[in-house]
Amino acid sequence: MDTPRILMIVTSTERMPSGKATGLWLEEFAVPYLEFRKAGAEVVAASPKGGATPIDPRSNPDPEQEQAWREPAGVLRSTRRLEEIDPADFDAVFLPGGHGTMFDLPENAQLVRILEQLEASGKVIAAVCHGPAGLIGPKRPDGQALVAGRRVAVFTDAEEHAVELQDDVPFLLESRLRELGAKVETAANFQEHAIRDGKLVTGQNPPSSKRTAQLTLEALGQ
C-alpha cells in the first residue's frame, strides 16, 4: 500500500463526573503516532469537539519523552472534529485510550458512523487500553455488535481496580465488551498484550501501545 492514511481519534473529555482530571493517555497516542510516521503513513487526529486535546496529567511525559514526543504533542493541539471526517479518506482508524474515552466515545453518533463505514469497507480498526470504549456502539452490516465473536484485548477490570478508578467510570470496559460478545483475552496487570483478529487490532494497556501500532501496520500491509 502506498502511503496509508490513518485516522487517530482521541477524547475531548478533561474531567470525570467525580471531578477528577482525565483526558488522553499521552503515551497511547504518541508512541503509535511515531510508529505510523516511521512507516511512512499519513496521520490525521480527530476528536468529538475538535481543537486541543486534554491530556491526563498522570501521563505527562518526563523530559526525555517530552523531547521524543514533540511532534505528536503538537498534532494534539489542533484536532479535527469527528463530524468533519469522511471515513472513505482513510485506510485505518486507531483509538488511543485514557479514561476520558469512557465518557465521550461510547455511543458517539459520529464515531459510530465512521467505524461502521470503515468496518463495512473492510478497513483496519484498532484501539488500545480504554480506546475500545469506542467499539461499544458500532455494529457490523449483519446487525451484530462490531466486537461480537472477535478476540480483543482491553484495559481489564483488574487493572481498573488496581488504579482505583472503578467507581469513577460509568462501567467496567472489559465486562461491557464481554456482554457484547467479545472474546476478551487478558494478560497480567500492566503487561504488554495486543491481539490482531483479522482487521481488528486491540491492546490492553499503555505498555501495549507500540505493539498495537505494529499489528495495525501489519493488518494494513495485508
Per-residue pLDDT tens digits for 161-175: 999 999 999 999 999
The pTM of this model reads: 0.98
Question: Which residue has cell 505498555?
Answer: 207
In the prediction, which pLDDT does 65 show?
Answer: 97
In the prediction, which pLDDT does 143 show?
Answer: 96
- pLDDT of residue 180 exceeding 60, the answer is yes
Give whole-number Cα distances, 182 to 29, 46, 151, 202, in Å: 24, 26, 6, 12
Report the residue count for the chain: 222
Rounded Cα gap, residues 141 and 62, in angstroms: 44
Of 96, 59, 92, the residue nearest 79 (C-alpha): 96
User: Per DSSP, which regions of 90-190 are E strands?
Assistant: 92-95, 124-128, 151-152, 183-184
Paired sense of beta strands 194-197 and 200-203, if any? antiparallel
Rounded Cα gap, residues 157 and 174, in angstroms: 6
Using 50, 70 and 90 to split pLDDT, how confident is the model at 41? very high
The answer to whether the Cα torsion of 219, 87, 129, 33 is positive or negative is positive
What integer is the mean pLDDT of 50-71?
A: 97
What integer is the mean pLDDT of 43-59?
A: 98
Of 213, 195, 215, the residue nearest 204 (C-alpha): 195
DSSP 9: E
- pLDDT of residue 112 exceeding 80, the answer is yes
- pLDDT of residue 1 exceeding 60, the answer is no
* Strand order across the 92-95 sheet: 80-81, 42-47, 5-9, 92-95, 124-128, 200-203, 194-197
Per-residue pLDDT tens digits for 113-127: 999 999 999 999 999
Question: What is the CATH architecture of 5-221?
Answer: 3-Layer(aba) Sandwich (3.40)
Element (H, E) at 187: none
